[in-house]
Amino acid sequence: HKRGVISMARAQDPNSAGSQFFIMHADADYLDGQYAAFGKVISGMDVVDRIASVPTLRWNNRPYEDQVIDTIRIVEA
């Protein structure tokens, strides 16, 4: 998984993916083959960088405040 890749989030069960996803902020090759990648950010990584830099709770690494996506555009490859 390279920076900007969008993948399905899941629990321990490999068949548990639902509607949650994550955007790779940095390269993590060890995730390749573990999570289903289905897209890539082609513009707006500066927004991802800002989201990744917000303060988070220590015990679960969640942001203190919700990070909301107001607008998204899907472009077919």
Number of domains in the chain: 1
Question: Tokens for 38?
Answer: 């289905």
State the pLDDT at residue 15.
Answer: 86
Q: Are strands 37-40 and 5-8 parallel, antiparallel or unpaired?
A: antiparallel
Range of 25's domain? 1-77
| Local confidence pLDDT in tens for the 77 residues of the chain | 999 999 999 988 888 988 999 999 999 999 999 999 999 999 999 999 999 999 999 988 899 999 998 888 889 87
N-term to C-term CA, the chain: 18
Query: In this structure, are residues 21 and 8 in contact, taking their beta carbons and an 8 Å threshold?
Result: yes
Cite the beta strand spans of 1-77 per DSSP E: 5-8, 21-23, 37-40
- Give me the CATH number covering residue 69: 2.40.100.10
